[in-house]
A and B are shown apart, each in its own frame.
Chain A
Amino acid sequence: AQSVTQLGSHVSVSEGALVLLRCNYSSSVPPYLFWYVQYPNQGLQLLLKYTSAATLVKGINGFEAEFKKSETSFHLTKPSAHMSDAAEYFCAVNSWGKLQFGAGTQVVVTP
């Protein structure tokens, strides 16, 4: 079965600093991987997805993620954090048509 693990339940970053959210996957088949963002009391918004094309995936709001098979990782980055990036971020893997979510990482952006 496919699964993902997000390292770090909370990340605090200064405005303008690099945002790095870690996600490692476990999959017996080539995975389809996703990053979603959730703002308080809202649903999930797709940031980006990896579907076995380019290993560096660019998403919305300046986010990107790199698929590294050798490290079984799909970390999410943004070069310069903005106050509006404060939210919960979920990594997910497609598993037989369903999404398996990580536990989530809460991002706090400080001025």
Chain B
Amino acid sequence: GAVVSQHPSWVICKSGTSVKIECRSLDFQATTMFWYRQFPKQSLMLMATSNEGSKATYEQGVEKDKFLINHASLTLSTLTVTSAHPEDSSFYICSAKSGASTDTQYFGPGTRLTVL
């Protein structure tokens, strides 16, 4: 149990285009989903927290108009990178949890974004 999927697993796009990444909890209802960014050989950096049916809460320094997050259902959250630029190239990972704030986060396999 506790499986989280992401789609696509990798994507290459041209500078200036937008890219949507999906995160799904396959066997549980995720009241909260998280989006992380990871640079090579570095730890995970939390970008935002989203609760189903509410606006996402962004971490300091993360542009909410650039990284649009939607959590429309208990099993799906999307991250849209708008007007992508090469500096947005990174590994994006989502996680999901249900219930209490202390519950375990289960992570998706990640999405490799390359902006040309």
Which A residues have a C-beta under 8 Å from some C-beta of B? 32, 34, 36, 41-46, 49, 51, 90, 94, 96-99, 101-104, 106
Contact = CB atoms under 8 A, between A and B. Distances in A.
A41 B110 CA distance: 7
Contacts of A94: 101-102
B43 A43 contact: no
B93 interface: yes
Contact of A102 (B43, B91, B105, B110): B43
Interface of B: 4, 6, 32, 34, 41-44, 46, 49, 91, 93, 95, 101-102, 104-110, 112
Contacts, number: 50
Given A43-B109, A44-B107, A98 B102 contact: no
A58 to B, nearest CB: 15
Given A36-B107, A41-B110, A43-B108, A90 B101 contact: no
Interface on chain B toward A: helix, strand, loop, or mixed SS? strand
Contacts of B4: 43
10 contacts: A41-B91, A43-B95, A43-B110, A46-B104, A46-B106, A90-B43, A90-B44, A99-B95, A103-B43, A104-B42
Given A32-B102, A49-B104, A99 B43 contact: no
Nearest to B5: A43
Contacts of B6: 43
